[in-house]
Amino acid sequence: MTAQQRIVVGLSGGVDSAVTAYLLKQQGYEVIGIFMKNWEDDDDSEYCSSNIDFVDAAAVADVIGIEIEYVNFAAEYRDRVFAEFLSEYQAGRTPNPDILCNAEIKFKAFLDHAMRLGAGKIATGHYARVRLNPATGRHELLKGLDPSKDQSYFLHRLNQAQLSKTLFPVGELHKTEVRRIAAEIGLPNARKKDSTGICFIGERPFRDFLNRYISKEPGPIKDDNGRTIGQHVGLSFYTLGQRQGLGIGGIKAQGAALKAVQAKGLRGAGEHEPWFVARKDMANNTLWAVQGHDHPWLLSHALKAGDASWCAGDPPAPGDYGAKTRYRQTDAGCNLRLDTAGTFALRFAQAQWAVTPGQSAVLYDGEVCLGGGVIAAAGD
């Protein structure tokens, strides 16, 4: 059997990677499963599911009839992903560690390990697709066919070398079909709930987790008139657009402020309007909150991004594209301007809500994911 016929699948214990392994075996490939252990600070925690996930992955491998190997990438994860995650939060930004995990662990450390096992390619259970464009000779990252599950946003930092060695079989299917296949072949995890937490945090309360690594620095919460309306526990614990956990729900806009809000015709304007985090002033340790989902402080027509990564290797030509500034957002029409190396600017036809530094701005040309960068700042 040649290396090209051997595919190493990242088995997470979930249904998507299980069906991925099954489909590839049905296609005649020699399939080897690998379970990646990326976090081990609190294996005995009620929120850490890795031990359960490994049992599920091993059970899947047994049903499908493939070998499974347990590989520990915790040291690489801590150095390449978690350290950056903490650094970004301490700087007041809101990072997306799943994007970094894909670029540094699943499609680097894991890919390297698979190549050492003699694999021709790796495969994961992501909802995305890869195709070779014959006109350019380059591999393209495409959205998954199920629009409600598309994960290309999280994969936008993959490069040509990584894309050329990767398969995403379930990216051609809808989630309902994946679950149907799993049930039909008797996979023990056919009905297992999808994971929703950040890869190393799992389902635990986020603030409790962050508390262990970042010290609290309380300070004032102010509204857009400069009125102190509460106290925050530390700017690192909040993100732009956040509505829950502010402790100011009973505070109402007053007098001229209330009239101004109502005059703007903002959605839900009035005394029962929810409060949202709108700005973080790191220099003065102040959290700014505003009332109303459509408050002007929450809306941006432009952004600047850095640390750009383009799937083709080169940036796309300046012009009009679609973009997401957060996962599950529909593509928003925008104009791309390339600045200095590794930076770019986007201007949107429609104002975008709660554009957040540290998150990723990802560009699309139709169904093709072009790449993106880390949001540095939002603007008007």
Distant-in-sequence, close-in-space partners of 22: CB < 8 Å, separation ≥ 6 = 64, 181, 182, 185, 187
Burial 324-347 (b: 16+ CB within 10 A, else e): bbbeeeebbebebeeeeeebbbbb
CB 64 within 8 A of CB 18: yes
- Sheet with 6-10, edge to edge strand ranges: 67-72, 30-37, 6-10, 121-123, 166-167
CA–CA gap between residue 7 and residue 55 (Å, rounded): 21
Determine the pLDDT at residue 113: 96
CB 216 within 8 A of CB 233: yes
CB 316 within 8 A of CB 303: no
Report residues of the chain scoring pLDDT below 50: 1, 256
Neighbours of 23 (CB within 10 A): 21
Distant-in-sequence, close-in-space partners of 328: CB < 8 Å, separation ≥ 6 = none
CA–CA gap between residue 225 and residue 218 (Å, rounded): 20
Determine the pLDDT at residue 256: 45
In 3-state terms, what secondary structure has residue 173? coil
CA–CA gap between residue 168 and residue 129 (Å, rounded): 6
Cα 211 to Cα 14, 83, 235, 236, 263: the distances in Å are 29, 15, 12, 10, 41
Distant-in-sequence, close-in-space partners of 215: CB < 8 Å, separation ≥ 6 = 234
Of the candidates 56, 63, 22, the residue with the CA atom closest to the CA atom of residue 9: 22
In 3-state terms, what secondary structure has residue 46? coil
CA–CA gap between residue 256 and residue 296 (Å, rounded): 17
Determine the pLDDT at residue 40: 74
Instruction: Quote the tokens at residue 364.
Output: 């699309």
Q: Which amino acid is at 82?
A: F
Of the candidates 55, 33, 54, 13, the residue with the CA atom closest to the CA atom of residue 182: 13
Of the candidates 85, 206, 195, the residue with the CA atom closest to the CA atom of residue 151: 195
Whole-prediction pTM: 0.90
CA–CA gap between residue 219 and residue 213 (Å, rounded): 19
What amino acid positions are annotated as catalytic residues? Answer: 101, 199
DSSP class of residue 104 equals I
Determine the pLDDT at residue 75: 92
Alpha helix (H) residue ranges in the chain: 15-26, 50-64, 74-77, 83-90, 97-101, 110-116, 160-164, 175-184, 206-211, 255-263
Of the candidates 288, 287, 289, 277, the residue with the CA atom closest to the CA atom of residue 234: 287
Domains of the chain: 3-206 (3.40.50.620), 215-294 (2.30.30.280), 298-379 (2.40.30.10)
The per-residue pLDDT for range 83-132, each reduced to its tens digit, is 999 999 988 999 998 999 999 999 999 999 999 999 999 999 999 999 99
Q: Helix-strand-coil percent breakdown of the chain, rounded to 5?
A: 30, 30, 40
Determine the pLDDT at residue 193: 80
Of the candidates 205, 193, 185, the residue with the CA atom closest to the CA atom of residue 52: 193
Determine the pLDDT at residue 38: 85
